[in-house]
Amino acid sequence: MTNCIIASTSTIHGSQPLEYLFEALIELYKDKGEVLFIPYARPGGISHDEYTIGVNNIFKKINKKIMSIHMFESPKEAFKNVQAIYTGGGNTFLLVDQLYRNNCIQLIKDAVASGIPYLGTSAGSNICGLTMQTTNDMPIVHPPSLQTLGIVPFNINPHYLDPDPTSTHKGETRETRIKEFHNLNSQPVVGLREGSWLRVYNNDITLEGKLSARIFEQHKAPYELESGSSLKEFN
Q: Which residues are catalytic?
A: 122, 137, 159
Secondary structure (DSSP) of 82-107: ---EEE--S-HHHHHHHHHHTT-HHH
Cβ-count burial of 60 within 10 angstroms (0-12 exposed, 13-18 middle, 19+ buried)? exposed
* Interaction residues for its own copies, span 184-213 (CB under 8 A): 184-185, 194
3-class DSSP state for residue 53? helix
Q: What share of the chain is helix, strand, coil (3-state, %, to 5)?
A: 30, 20, 50
Q: Which range touches its own copies (CB under 8 A), out of 28-36, 126-134, 199-207, 225-233? A: 126-134
User: Which positions from 132 to 161 touch its own copies by CB under 8 A, shown as an x/- string?
Assistant: xxxxxxxxxxx--xx-----------xx-x
3-class DSSP state for residue 183? helix
Contact assessment for residue 42 and residue 122, using Cβ atoms and an 8 Å cutoff: no
Q: Which range touches its own copies (CB under 8 A), out of 18-26, 50-58, 59-67, 182-190? A: 182-190
Among 170, 210, 221, 226, the residue binding its own copies under the rule CB under 8 A is 170
> Which residue in 148, 121, 120 sits closest to 132, CA to CA?
148
Cα distance between residue 3 and residue 116, in whole Å: 7
**β 189-191/155-157 pair status:** parallel
Nearest residue (CB) to its own copies, 12 versus 107: 12
Question: Min. distance of Cβ 154 from its own copies in angstroms?
Answer: 15
User: Please, which residues have CB within 8 angstroms of residue 229's CB and are 6 or more apart in sequence?
Assistant: 206, 207
Among 39, 42, 125, 128, the residue binding its own copies under the rule CB under 8 A is 42
Residue 102 lies near its own copies (rule: CB under 8 A) = no
* Residue 46: count of CB within 10 angstroms of its CB: 14
Question: Min. distance of Cβ 141 from its own copies in angstroms?
Answer: 6
User: Which positions from 55 to 94 touch its own copies by CB under 8 A, shown as an x/- string?
Assistant: -----------------------------------xx-xx
Q: Which range touches its own copies (CB under 8 A), out of 54-62, 67-75, 179-187, 196-204? A: 179-187
Residue 103 lies near its own copies (rule: CB under 8 A) = no
Question: Min. distance of Cβ 94 from its own copies in angstroms?
Answer: 7
**What residue ranges bind its own copies (CB under 8 A)?**
9-14, 42-45, 90-91, 93-94, 122, 132-142, 145-146, 158-159, 161, 168-172, 176-185, 194
